[in-house]
A and B are shown apart, each in its own frame.
Chain A
């Protein structure tokens, strides 16, 4: 009879416990950032595994997202004789929403899951404990470089996604369906504002990068040190990151573009 209520309280307490641990870890990572200055090589190596290895999936999906936007937008706009506005449609939806959001989702799937699995396995094989035995703080040596790499890689990946997507939209609009090239670019340049649209898109992608990397590192370091625990933590990283990205995107959009 009392079991469901007991379970509810237990899961609620566990949620707050994990949230608290996540915040403490975040604070410790931020506090350990200064130790990275003599060890920039670690950051570069992590930027390679987080950023460079995600480049292929980002470029390919950006290209196809831009192409499909142009194709679908054309079908609707041509009814109103407004197919010249295709450039606006492609550029604004990529720069404001799809660029940051889709590349963050891909980043969570490609890089976030790898981070969790790596740190989780380090924990399961007691490498983190071994570092502590040698008086090396694993937060400084393992987690901080990965966090900084995610922080820098994510906005760059989102920018590449948007740029490649605009090019893909351009190929379809001008090459396939025959929109006038000059109108495509000039209408786009008229409607897209550097401050309102592009800066805000970059801010969004920075926020997503921090959140995804934070979730991935926390889940890894908080995983139950068994093979099953690591696999569960990896799944949680992808699910929680996706939810956090989509929820935060709504909040950020309301803050940035709310008054328009």
Chain B
């Protein structure tokens, strides 16, 4: 076969392969939304961080501001220390912002939700969020509900 046609076809093949890789990187994976290492980290202590993972989103008002970068256990307070990286353009979060662990949907993934406070000073690199609420564990909730229900029932009978 004509060498030139072969070369053209090989060129088309390589270009198609490169385009496919580019599409996988940009359209299928999270490269387009990749947060670069710029930004500042804040920490928060949670009584219960079950279900939270590294790279879980951190959101305020439903907008993702950053991601969880590290989850560790504190030997002194027996709590979980969650480190979060917030993108540097969101630098006006009040100092008394509170953090809770929520679930997206009924059985969806866990994320850290931030609620703004009223302080004029804003969170800086290395700051700690003091007001926190850990994740709601479904079994605990059901257990509380059942025990409350049972005690209501017995007090009704006592009357």
Contact = CB atoms under 8 A, between A and B. Distances in A.
Nearest to B31: A194
Contacts of A41: 3
B134 to A, nearest CB: 24
Contacts of A156: 13-14, 16-18, 20-21
Most buried by A among B12, B28, B29: B28
A156 B32 CA distance: 22
Contacts of B25: 194, 198
Given A48-B6, A48-B10, A198 B24 contact: yes
Q: How large is the interface on B (under 10, 10 to 19, 20 to 34, 35 or more residues)?
A: 20 to 34
* Secondary structure dominating the interface of B: helix
Given A155-B17, A193-B30, A198-B29, 19 more contacts: A44-B6, A47-B10, A47-B13, A48-B9, A55-B13, A95-B28, A156-B14, A156-B17, A156-B20, A156-B21, A160-B16, A163-B19, A164-B20, A166-B28, A189-B28, A192-B28, A192-B30, A194-B29, A194-B34
Interface string B1-44: 00100110110111011111101110111111110000000000
Contacts of A163: 19-21, 23-24, 28
Contacts of B33: 189
Interface of A: 41, 44-45, 47-48, 51-52, 55, 91, 95, 153, 155-157, 159-160, 162-164, 166, 185, 188-190, 192-194, 197-198, 202
Contacts of B3: 41, 45
Nearest to A149: B10
Given A41-B3, A156-B14, A190 B30 contact: yes
Contacts of B27: 166, 185, 189
Nearest to B23: A163
Given A48-B10, A55-B13, A194 B30 contact: yes
A198 B28 CA distance: 9
Contacts of A51: 10, 13
A159 B10 contact: no
Contacts of B23: 163, 166
B16 A193 contact: no
A44 B13 CA distance: 11
* Secondary structure dominating the interface of A: helix
Contacts, number: 80
Nearest to A189: B30
Most buried by B among A41, A48, A153: A48
Contacts of A162: 20, 24, 28
Nearest to B5: A48
A189 B34 CA distance: 10
Contacts of B30: 189-190, 192-194
A25 to B, nearest CB: 26
Nearest to A195: B29
11 contacts: A48-B10, A95-B24, A155-B17, A156-B18, A156-B20, A157-B17, A163-B20, A163-B24, A166-B28, A194-B29, A198-B29
6 closest Cβ pairs, A-B complex:
A156-B17, A163-B20, A159-B20, A194-B29, A160-B20, A192-B29
Nearest to A163: B20
A121 B133 CA distance: 73
Contacts of B9: 48, 52
A159 B28 contact: no
A49 B13 CA distance: 11
B21 to A, nearest CB: 5
Given A44-B10, A48-B9, A163-B23, A193 B29 contact: yes
Nearest to B55: A193
Contacts of B6: 44-45, 48
Contacts of A45: 3, 6
Nearest to A160: B20
